[in-house]
């Protein structure tokens, strides 16, 4: 089966940096995605990693280590609007997308 683990909840302070980790064990790997989901809304695409290393996009960066089955999403200069759930999703050899349970991030003043 597919197994994707993320912390359930995290809290961080406005202006700070937070790292959300994701570990995975899947049958097949075609890439790892991070999505942001605000309560009651659909997920929005944040980042995509298929090769090892760091992908930077503005205040968001995502890292992947395929040998370790590990990824993290790094959020810098946190803003109150960053309070949301962050979903790690792995695209498997069957080209389906399997989601972790999500990490609920709360940004406090």
Could you tell me what percentage of the chain is helix, strand and coil, using 3-state DSSP and rounding each to the nearest 5?
5, 60, 40
48 touches another protein (CB under 8 A): yes
Q: Which of 40, 53, 58, 109 binds another protein (CB under 8 A)?
A: 40
11 touches another protein (CB under 8 A): no
CA distance 45 to 5: 19
User: Closer CB to another protein, residue 95 or residue 109?
Assistant: 95
1 touches another protein (CB under 8 A): no
34 touches another protein (CB under 8 A): no
Q: What residues line the site for another protein (CB under 8 A)?
A: 30-31, 33, 35, 40-45, 48, 87, 91, 95-102
């Amino acid at each position: 089966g597919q197994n994707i683990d993320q912390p359930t909840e995290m809290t961080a302070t406005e202006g700070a940096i937070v790292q959300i980790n994701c570990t995975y064990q899947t049958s097949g790997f075609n890439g790892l995605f991070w999505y942001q989901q605000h309560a009651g809304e659909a997920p929005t695409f944040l980042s995509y990693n298929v090769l090892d290393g760091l992908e930077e996009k503005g205040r968001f960066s995502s890292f992947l280590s395929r040998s370790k089955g590990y990824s993290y999403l790094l959020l810098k200069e946190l803003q109150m609007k960053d309070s949301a759930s962050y979903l790690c999703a792995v695209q498997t050899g069957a080209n389906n997308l399997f989601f972790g349970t999500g990490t609920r991030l709360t940004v406090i003043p």
